[in-house]
C-alpha cells in the first residue's frame, strides 16, 4: 500500500514537473509573446487560491482517496485538452488562460487530498508516519530533479504539444494507482459543506502547535520564495552566470533528498525536537550564506545545506500535521494552510522586486536573510514547539 501511494504521488508530481517546462515553451511557440506565460500564471492565481480553500472542504466531504483520484483524472483531461484544441482550432492566449485556470482548480485540491491521505496510508499499512513522510519528501526531490531534465530531453526531440501527453498520461496513471488503494482508506469523514470553514478555524485556533507551525511555514515561504525566485536569478544574470542558478537549485534538491531519506531512516529513533532544531540550524546556515550572494562554490555548498535542513523539516511538519489535525477536518485545515502558503509566495516576490529596485540586490538579500533569521528565532523560542513528541490526546479533536 505504501509503495502504491508513493508511486501515485511521484507520477502526479512528475507529470507536473514535465508540464512546468513544456507548457511555458508551448505558450511561447504558439503565441510568440514572452509575457504570455506570466499572464496565464496571474490569471490562474486567484482560482488557485480559492481552490485551496474550497478544495479542503471537498476533500472532507467526499473522501481523500476519491478526490485524489478525481483530481488527477481532471488534471489529465485539462492537459490533454491542450493538444486536442491545438489540432482543432489552434491554441490562443484565451485557450491557454481557460485551460490553465481549469488545471489550477483541480491540481490544488489533488495536492491537499494526497497530503491528507498520508496518515491514513501509514496507519493502514502499519508504517511509522515519520518513515512515510521522509520517503515522500525524498522521492519528491528526485522527481523534481529528473522531471525537468526529462522534459528538456523530450522537447529536444518532440513538439511541445506532444510532450504534454506525457503529463496527461502520468496524471491518469496516478489516478489509476490511487484507485487500487482499499476503499476504506481516506474515506469521507462527514457531510460538511464545501465552505464550512468554522470547524477548521476552530482547530487551528485551539491548537497552539498547529497554529504556530502554520505561521512559521508562511514566514519561511515569504523568505525562501523571493530568495530562490528573484534575488539569486537577478544576481546571477547580472554576473552572466545563469547556469549557476540551475546548479544551485539542483544542490538544494540533492540536499533535500539526502535529508529526507536520512529522516525516513532514523526519524523514529531521534527525538523530534532534536531533529527539528538541528535541521532548522542547518537550513539557516545555508540560507544566510545564499542570501549574502558569495562566489559560486559557496553558493552550491550553501544550497546543499539548505536542502539538508529543509528535507527533514518538511517531513517533521507533515508528521505533526498528520497527528494533530482531527481526521474529520483534515482536508479543510490543510486546505487553509496551503492557501496561506500560496498567497504569501507572490507577495514575498513582489516585495523583493520592489526592494531590489529601491536598494539593490545585495541589500535585498540581507533583508531576506534577516526575515529568515526572525522566523527561525520565533520557531526556536515558541513554547508550542518545545515538545514535539506525540501525545495521546489530540487538541481540538472534539471541535468538529
Q: Which pLDDT does position 190 carry in this prediction?
A: 60
Give the number of other Cβ atoms within 10 Å of residue 377's Cβ: 11
Distinct helix (H) and strand (E) counts, the chain:
14, 0
Query: Mean pLDDT, to the nearest integer, of 31-39?
Result: 72
Indicate if the pLDDT at residue 147 is higher than 90: no
Instruction: Say how far apart CA 384 and CA 391 lie, in whole Å.
Output: 13
With 60 as the cut, is the pLDDT of residue 346 above it?
yes
**pLDDT tens digits, residue range 81-120?**
999 998 888 888 888 889 888 888 888 888 889 998 999 9
* Local confidence band at 292 (pLDDT 50, 70, 90 cut-offs): very high
Mean pLDDT across 131-136: 91
Residue 353 has pLDDT above 60, yes or no: yes
Find the mean pLDDT for residues 57-63.
Answer: 86
What whole-number distance in Å separates Cα of residue 380 and Cα of residue 265?
Answer: 24
Encode pLDDT of 21-30 as tens digits.
Answer: 788 788 878 8
Say whether pLDDT at 398 is over 70. Answer: no
Average pLDDT over residues 121-136: 90
253 or 193, higher pLDDT: 253
What confidence score (pLDDT) does residue 364 get? 92
Residue 42 has pLDDT above 90, yes or no: no
Q: What is the pLDDT of residue 191?
A: 61
| Confidence at residue 397, expressed as pLDDT on a 0 to 100 scale | 41
User: Is pLDDT of 276 > 90?
Assistant: yes
Q: What is the pLDDT, as a whole number, of residue 36? A: 74
Cβ–Cβ < 8 Å for 233, 293 = no
CA 377 to chain centre: 23
- The domains of the chain, with CATH numbers, are 2-129+146-176 (1.20.1250.20), 199-385 (1.20.1250.20)
Average per-residue pLDDT in the chain? Answer: 86
Place of cell 544566510: 288
pLDDT for residue 393 is more than 80: no
Output DSSP code: residue 393. S
Residue 299 has pLDDT above 80, yes or no: yes
Per-residue pLDDT of 214-247, as tens digits, reads 999 999 999 988 888 788 888 887 887 767 877 8
Neighbour count for residue 288 (Cβ, 10 Å):
20
Q: CA-to-CA distance for 19 and 127, rounded, in angstroms?
A: 32
Q: What's the distance, Cα to Cα, between the start and end of the chain in Å?
A: 29
Q: Which grid cell is 254?
A: 540533492
What the block records as the C-alpha cell of 377 is 528565532
Rounded distance, CA 264 to CA 276, Å? 14
The Cα–Cα gap between 311 and 305 comes to 10
Instruction: Flag whether pLDDT at 396 surpasses 60.
Output: no
Confidence band of 121 (pLDDT split at 50, 70, 90):
very high
Give CA–CA dist 318/48, Å, rounded. Answer: 22
d(Cα 132, Cα 387) in Å, to the nearest integer?
Answer: 21
Question: What residues contact residue 198 under an 8 Å CB cut-off, 6+ apart?
Answer: none
pLDDT band at 391 (very low <50, low <70, confident <90, very high): low
Mean pLDDT, to the nearest integer, of 382-396? 70
pLDDT tens track for 357-377: 899 989 999 999 999 999 999
Q: What DSSP state is assigned to residue 195? A: T
pLDDT at 352: 86
Res 399: pLDDT: 42
Cell of 105: 482548480
Residue 398: half-sphere exposure toward Cβ, Cα within 13 Å = 1
Q: What is the pLDDT of residues 151-198, one digit of tens each?
A: 878 888 888 888 889 889 999 999 999 999 998 887 776 666 556 777
Please give the pLDDT value at position 195: 64
Is the C-alpha dihedral spanning 140, 143, 148, 151 positive or negative? negative
- The angle that helices 129-157 and 160-179 make with each other, rounded to 10 degrees, is 150
CA distances from 236 to 124, 233, 246, 247, 367 (A): 48, 5, 10, 11, 18
Amino acid at each position: 500500500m505504501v509503495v502504491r501511494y508513493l508511486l501515485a504521488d511521484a507520477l502526479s508530481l512528475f507529470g507536473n514537473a514535465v508540464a512546468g517546462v513544456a507548457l511555458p515553451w508551448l505558450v511561447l511557440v504558439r503565441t510568440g509573446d514572452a509575457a504570455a506565460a506570466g499572464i496565464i500564471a496571474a490569471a490562474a492565481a486567484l482560482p488557485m487560491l480559492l481552490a485551496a480553500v474550497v478544495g479542503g472542504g471537498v476533500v472532507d466531504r467526499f473522501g481523500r482517496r476519491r478526490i485524489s483520484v478525481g483530481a488527477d483524472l481532471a488534471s489529465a483531461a485539462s492537459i490533454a485538452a491542450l493538444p486536442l484544441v491545438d489540432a482543432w482550432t489552434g491554441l490562443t492566449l484565451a485557450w491557454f488562460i481557460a485551460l490553465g485556470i481549469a488545471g489550477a482548480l483541480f491540481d490544488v485540491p489533488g495536492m491537499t487530498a494526497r497530503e491528507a491521505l498520508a496518515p491514513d496510508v501509514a496507519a493502514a499499512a502499519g508504517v511509522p508516519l515519520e518513515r512515510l513522510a521522509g520517503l515522500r519528501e525524498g522521492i519528491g526531490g528526485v522527481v523534481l530533479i529528473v522531471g525537468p531534465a526529462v522534459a528538456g530531453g523530450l522537447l529536444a526531440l518532440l513538439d511541445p504539444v506532444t510532450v504534454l501527453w506525457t503529463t496527461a498520461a502520468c496524471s491518469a496513471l496516478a489516478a489509476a494507482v490511487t484507485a487500487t488503494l482499499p476503499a476504506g482508506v481516506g474515506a469521507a469523514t462527514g457531510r460538511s459543506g464545501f465552505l464550512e470553514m468554522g470547524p477548521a478555524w476552530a482547530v487551528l485556533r485551539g491548537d497552539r502547535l498547529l497554529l504556530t507551525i502554520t505561521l512559521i511555514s508562511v514566514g519561511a515561504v515569504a523568505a525562501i520564495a523571493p530568495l530562490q525566485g528573484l534575488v539569486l536569478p537577478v544576481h546571477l544574470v547580472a554576473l552572466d552566470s545563469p547556469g549557476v542558478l540551475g546548479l544551485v537549485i539542483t544542490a538544494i534538491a540533492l540536499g533535500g533528498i539526502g535529508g529526507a531519506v536520512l529522516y525516513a531512516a532514523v526519524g523514529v529513533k531521534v527525538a523530534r525536537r532534536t531533529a527539528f532544531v538541528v535541521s532548522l540550524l542547518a537550513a539557516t546556515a545555508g540560507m544566510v550564506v545564499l542570501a549574502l550572494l558569495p562566489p559560486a562554490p559557496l553558493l552550491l555548498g550553501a544550497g546543499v545545506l539548505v536542502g539538508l535542513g529543509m528535507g527533514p523539516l518538511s517531513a517533521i511538519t507533515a508528521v505533526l500535521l498528520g497527528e494533530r489535525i482531527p481526521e474529520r477536518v483534515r482536508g479543510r485545515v490543510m486546505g487553509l494552510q496551503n492557501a496561506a502558503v500560496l498567497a504569501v509566495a507572490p507577495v514575498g516576490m513582489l516585495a523583493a522586486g520592489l526592494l531590489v529596485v529601491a536598494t539593490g540586490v545585495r541589500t535585498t538579500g540581507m533583508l531576506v536573510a534577516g526575515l529568515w533569521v526572525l522566523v527561525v528565532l520565533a520557531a526556536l523560542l515558541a513554547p508550542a514547539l518545545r515538545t514535539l513528541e506525540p501525545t495521546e490526546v489530540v487538541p481540538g479533536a472534539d471541535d468538529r
